[in-house]
Structure 1
Amino acid sequence: MAAATRPSAESGRDGLRAAFSGLTTRGRSFLAAGIAAAVCAYVLGQGDLLRVGLLLAVLPLICAVALHRTQDRVTGSRRLSPVRVPAGAEARVQLRMNNVSRLPTGLLMLQDRVPYVLGPRPRFVLDRVEAGGRREVSYRVRSDLRGRYPLGPLQLRLTDPFGLVELTRSFRDFDTLTVIPRTEPLPPVRLTGESSGYGDGRQRSLALAGDDDVIPRGYRHGDDLRRVHWRSTARYGELMVRREEQPQRSRATVLLDTRRVAFRGAGPDSAFEWAVSAAASTLVHLLERGFSVRLLTDTGDTVGGEGSGGYSSGGSESAEAAGLMMDTLAVVGHSDGAGLSRACDAVRGGNEGLLIAFFGDLDDAQADLAAKMRQRSGAAVAFVLDSAQWSGEGRAPSGGPDEERLRRLRETGWTAVAASPGVSFAELWRHAGNAPADRGTSGGWG
């Protein structure tokens, strides 16, 4: 919400000059007629005509000074609710005008500046506002295109009751509406090689008899040293910790390919926009199931949280991380990079967790890099988009590049699914969960 602010106005001589420049055609006519009448009255020696001329000349000047003082006494505020909406949803903008002066205002005309993608520019006409009174108006905005859109500044136009002066001033405050990608609910499916949101991601049996029956695991950076299992440490020659005392949030990386060369076309129905929306749906789905999640792009940039490896943490930090990732997806665009090497380095920097990738067109070199990502990941699911299909250039022939890159990914352990236009992401997600397990890895709910 924008705090109540006053319009920006010049002070002193500059402010009065601006006020006098706001004379309307009627006001200028009154001023010219009054001066002419005063000159004629002086020449002819007509006192009554002189008084009439002075009245006609002074009235617009009095209105200009009074309006100049009044406009500094009108404050305004804007309330945007909500500040973050999915594409296609509406947000409500409420405007409030307050007259803090001791004099009533004349006619008020409001106009709020909004980008054209949010709809027509809203305009309102308000009757006079009494001293100490206020008026409220509202309008709605929506966009089918994700992004961040500024609202403002609010423009206020005041006129005096005689229509002699018209002043326009702008408020200083802006608000920003963030339009995030559309998301769709995903079914809970078993994705190959990964456990549910909490735990170590491996099947285990925890004993309750005592330390001798505890199944330890290797020490990880960040583990509490008070939980070191010294007997197992002496046995294995390396630090071991009690596994049942170290519940870990399973990690997941959502990789979004943003290379310009990997996608064709533009607009809400393009392949790239589908990939962005699907990545957003995946992030929300995994966070709801307790995963520590991070968003990764082909440029190597990571968005998630302040936890180890850039993953989101639990509790309120997960909500903040979700908002940060959705804000990033709201403005993400094509990168100028031609390869996935930076993303590969970022993925191979860790040796655990679920990897879900959204790829555009892959040549042989990029398919090899994708294979390297799978080598150290707990599980990998790839949704591959063929730009030729999405841009209306037809489907790749059977056995052509489309099938070849899918086969290559599957051979290296990926669960690879072709994302075709017209198929909902929920269906593809369910299909990925029904894919046969690779390399005998255990399943988990994703």
Structure 2
Amino acid sequence: MTPPPSDRTSGVRAALRGLTTRGRSFLAAGITAVVCAYVLGQDGLLRVGFLLAALPLVAVMIVANTRYRVASGRRLNPRRAVAGQEARVHLRVDNVSRVPTGVLLLEDQVPYVLGPRPRFVLDRVEPHGYREVSYRVRSDLRGRYPLGPLQLRLSDPFGMCEVGRAFTASDTLTVVPQVQALPAVRLSGDWAGQGESSSHSLALAGDDDVILREYRPGDDLRRVHWKSTARYGELMVRREEQPQKARATVLLDTREIGHRGSGPASSFEWAVSCAASVCAHLLERGYQTHLLTDTGEWVPGPGSGNHGAAETTGLILDALAVADLSDGGGLSRAEEPLRVGGEGLLIAILGELDETQATRLGRLRSRTGGAVAFLLDTGTWTGLRLLAPQTGGDEFHARERQLREAGWAVLPVRAGDSLPDLWQNVDGARTTAHHREGAGA
């Protein structure tokens, strides 16, 4: 199909604007040679000038009349990359036309934090053929980063003219915080999911809302309640017990005034990685886990339905990938969600606290099945505590003591501490907290 004259004209104009340095040099040399030949009366130089000027113009016409169609696709492996680790991006270019392509120059749009912008050269793609290339990206900063759209530059065989065309499709790479493997410890004082000391409750669904129900094909005959069977004249079975799902809430303090340091080495980044590791560990152990921030935001959100452990882990990691410091002055916005649905195990990752905030957290302890606090000594993230250990140290120890007296199991955290080592001490800290709570009673 022949394109209309307007399309051909716009294509020629775009090709002229796409002349490379080589093409412009040939055109300028040709024009100069023609002018000199006219002034000096040299016919041989005139022919050379016409040849030099004609080459880039022929290249413009070749590129402007290119009629092949190209499609592209992008695949990320993995789609969720961990901060500090590499991900690979696979690009595929398909020639969906009936003619072979010329030289193709590919350039993908990549944020600077992921590395240099990748460029590739494809010599020729046969009709209905394809080519695949890949490149690596890496970021030490968590977040969501756009990839694309892919830009394609068409070139003539002599490299005198290039025309850029851009695809519209793009993808998003999610860089999540680092998740550390935590040791299995006994979380005393609460339900342990499907593990040891798990509580049981009667199944409450449909006909199981009554103590007995009619026999159904496939029921174990050992569950038949013979006394009721004789009374009602038909087989009756006892409803079975099912393990009750353990619940846990991980509270992340995102207040800007509660954290110190900057970049990946800040106390906030340590807290985010801690929240990701604890959530993943609890979900793996069978806990129904929610992430809660001081802004009052739940993940998964209320009314979102039941999710599997893998899906919930993905939702929480996606939320933590874009978690940012908040401008809140306290934790009051998180208190109401905890009062409504915060029963079970509560694990809080806390920044710097004042006396009032510690007191309000202490009141929440009675509403939970168990409470563990990672209390960050944020002064150690600035180096001030190393130069003057007494600077702010008394205030930190006062908040630590205040939470312990309220029944919290407190794990003090300083810059450079290992999260798996701290987690190993959770059971001992909880035992101490129970003893304090019993002595206070």
Q: Using structure 2 for the length normalisation, give the TM-score.
A: 0.80
The corresponding residue for 1:23 is 19
Contact kept, 8 Å, 1:194 with 1:354, in 2: the verdict is yes
Match of 2:275 among 279, 304, 316: 279
AA in 2 matched with 1:386 = D
* Structure 1 stretch displaced more, 163-172 or 377-386: 163-172
Distance 1:55 1:428 in 2: 78
Structure 1: distance between partners of 2:54 and 2:276: 64
Q: Which residue in the other structure is 1:228 paired with?
A: 209
Supply the distance in 2 between the matched residues of 1:49 and 1:423 (Cα, whole angstroms). 79
Query: Closer, same or farther in 2 for the Cα pair 1:249/1:37, shift >3 Å?
Result: same
For residues 359-394 of structure 1, what are the alpha-carbon distances to aligned partners after superposition, in whole Å with 9 as ceiling and x for unaligned? 000001111121122120111000000111112111
The DSSP-based 3-state class of the residue aligned with 2:261 is: coil
Equivalent residue, structure 1, for 2:245 = 249
The answer to whether 1:107 aligns with 2:98 is no
Q: Secondary structure at the match of 1:394?
A: helix
Shift of residue 246 of structure 1? 4.7
Larger RCO: Structure 1 or Structure 2 (Cα < 8 Å, ≥ 6 residues apart)? 1
Match of 2:355 in 1: 364
Moved more, 381-390 or 25-34: 25-34
Of the structure 1 ranges 69-78 and 257-266, higher mean CA displacement relative to structure 2 is found in 69-78
Task: Tell me, in whole angstroms, the C-alpha distance in 1 between the residues paired with 2:141 and 2:57.
Answer: 49
Shift of 1:353: 0.8
Displacement of 1:63 in angstroms is 2.7
Q: Does the Cα contact within 8 Å between 2:198 and 2:243 map onto a contact in 1?
A: no
Assess, with a 3 A threshold, how the Cα gap between structure 1 residues 202 and 113 changes in structure 2: closer, same or farther: closer
Amino acid at match of 1:415: A
2:328 is equivalent to residue 320 of structure 1: no
**Partners of 2:181 and 2:109 in 1: CA distance:** 35
Aligned length: 402
Query: Contact (CA 8 Å) 2:37, 2:46: kept in 1 or not?
Result: yes
For residue 358 of structure 1, give the secondary structure of its aligned residue in structure 2. strand
Q: Distance in 2 between matches of 1:248 and 1:12?
A: 72
Cα deviation, 1:278-318, whole Å, max 9, x if unaligned, reads 110011101111111110000000012666xx6x735xx33
Confirm or deny that 1:432 pairs with 2:423.
Answer: no
User: Which residue in the other structure is 1:86 paired with?
Assistant: 82
Give the counterpart of 1:96 among 89, 92, 95.
92
- Correspondences of 1:14-93 after superposition (within 5 Å): 14-28=10-24, 60-70=56-66, 73-93=69-89
Displacement of 1:104: 3.6
Distance 1:369 1:391, change over 3 A: same
1:401 aligns to 2:395 (yes or no): yes
Q: What secondary structure sits across from 2:187 in the alignment? A: strand
SS at match of 1:349: helix
> Counterpart of 1:341?
332
Which amino acid letter does the alignment assign opposite residue 128 of structure 1?
A: R
Opposite residue 425 of structure 1, the aligned amino acid is L
Question: Counterpart amino acid of 2:158?
Answer: F
Structure 1 portions without partners, runs of 5+: 1-9, 205-214, 218-222, 232-241, 442-446
Segments of 5+ residues of structure 2 without an aligned counterpart are 1-5, 213-237, 437-441
Q: CA 1:37 to 1:193, structure 2 compared with 1: closer, same or farther past 3 Å?
A: same
Q: Contact conserved, 1:108 with 1:127, CA < 8 A, in 2? A: yes
Per the alignment, do residues 172 and 386 of structure 1 end up closer, same or farther by CA in structure 2, a change over 3 Å counting? same
Give the 3 Å change call, closer, same or farther, for CA 243–164 of structure 1 in structure 2: same
1:5 corresponds in structure 2 to none
Separation in structure 1 between the aligned mates of residue 317 and residue 410 of structure 2, nearest angstrom = 25
Partner AA of 2:326 in structure 1: S
Q: What is the alpha-carbon root mean square deviation over aligned residues? A: 3.6
In the alignment, residue 167 of structure 1 is paired with which amino acid?
A: V
Secondary structure of 2:264's counterpart equals coil
CA contact (8 A) 2:199 2:243 kept: no
Range that drifts further, 272-281 or 92-101: 92-101
Deviations 1:308-357 (A, max 9, x none): xx6x735xx33222111100001101001011001111111136211000
Give aligned-pair identity as a percent: 56
Q: Contact 2:56 / 2:161 at 8 angstroms: preserved in 1?
A: yes
Q: Say whether 1:391 aligns with 2:372.
A: no
CA distance in 2, matches of 1:185, 1:382: 19
Instruction: Return closer, same or farther for 1:374/1:244 CA change in 2, 3 Å cut-off.
Output: farther
